[in-house]
C-alpha cells in the first residue's frame, strides 16, 4: 500500500479502517473495564500509574519486558483487493492493536487507561473510550494521510522520531492518570 503513492481514496479508506478497528478494541476494553469497577478508585489509579510507569521504563530501555502480542504479519491476502478496500481491511486489522506485531508500548498504555482509568459515569466512560479509540485510529492513519498529500512517497521514518512519538504518548497517558 505504501510502496506506491496513496491517493485520497486509499488514505480515506485507511483512516476509516483504522478508526473502525480501534473502536472495536476500545469497545471491548470499555466492557472489560466494567468488570473491574468493584476495585476502589484509588487502587485502580495506583495500579494504572504503576503499569504505565513500567511501560515507560521499558520504552526507555531501563527494563526489558515481553509484552503480549500476536507475532504474525497481517496476511498477504489482505492486499489482493482493490487499493481502497485493501487499505480499509489492512488498517482495520492494524487499528485493533491485536492483529499483528506491536512495535511501540503506547498502545498498551492506552489499554491500561481504558481498563483502569475510565470515569465512573457510564456516559462519561463511553465518551472517553470512544474519544480514545478515535484518537488512536487517527494517530495510526497520520502516515498514510500525510503520504497522500505528498508528490513523492517517503516510507522511511527515522527511528528516533518513532521512539519520540511513543514516549510522548506514554507521558501523555501518565499525565492523564495523574490528573484523573
Query: Which DSSP helix (H) or strand (E) runs through 171?
Result: helix 159-179
Higher pLDDT, 52 or 154: 52
**CA neighbor of 140 nearest in space, from 85, 103, 173, 113:** 103
Residue 1 confidence (pLDDT)? 45
Band (pLDDT 50/70/90 cuts) for residue 46 is very high
50, three cell numbers: 504503576
Higher pLDDT, 60 or 77: 60
What confidence tens digit (pLDDT) does each residue in 133-143 have?
Answer: 888 888 878 77
Amino acid at each position: 500500500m505504501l510502496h506506491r503513492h496513496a491517493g485520497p481514496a486509499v488514505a480515506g479508506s485507511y483512516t476509516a479502517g483504522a478508526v473502525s478497528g480501534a473502536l472495536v478494541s476500545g469497545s471491548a476494553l470499555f466492557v472489560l473495564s466494567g468488570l473491574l469497577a468493584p476495585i476502589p478508585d484509588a487502587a485502580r489509579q495506583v495500579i494504572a500509574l504503576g503499569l504505565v510507569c513500567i511501560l515507560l521504563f521499558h520504552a526507555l530501555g531501563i527494563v526489558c519486558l515481553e509484552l503480549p502480542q500476536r507475532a504474525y504479519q497481517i496476511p498477504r491476502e489482505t492486499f489482493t483487493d482493490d487499493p481502497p478496500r485493501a487499505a480499509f481491511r489492512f488498517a482495520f486489522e492494524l487499528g485493533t492493536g491485536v492483529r499483528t506485531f506491536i512495535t511501540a508500548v503506547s498502545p498498551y498504555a492506552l489499554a491500561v487507561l481504558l481498563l483502569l482509568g475510565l470515569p465512573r459515569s457510564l456516559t462519561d466512560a463511553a465518551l472517553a473510550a470512544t474519544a480514545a479509540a478515535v484518537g488512536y485510529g487517527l494517530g495510526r492513519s497520520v502516515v498514510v494521510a500525510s503520504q497522500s498529500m505528498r508528490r513523492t512517497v517517503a516510507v522511511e521514518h527515522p527511528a528516533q522520531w518513532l521512539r519520540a512519538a511513543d514516549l510522548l504518548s506514554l507521558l501523555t497517558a501518565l499525565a492523564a492518570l495523574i490528573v484523573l
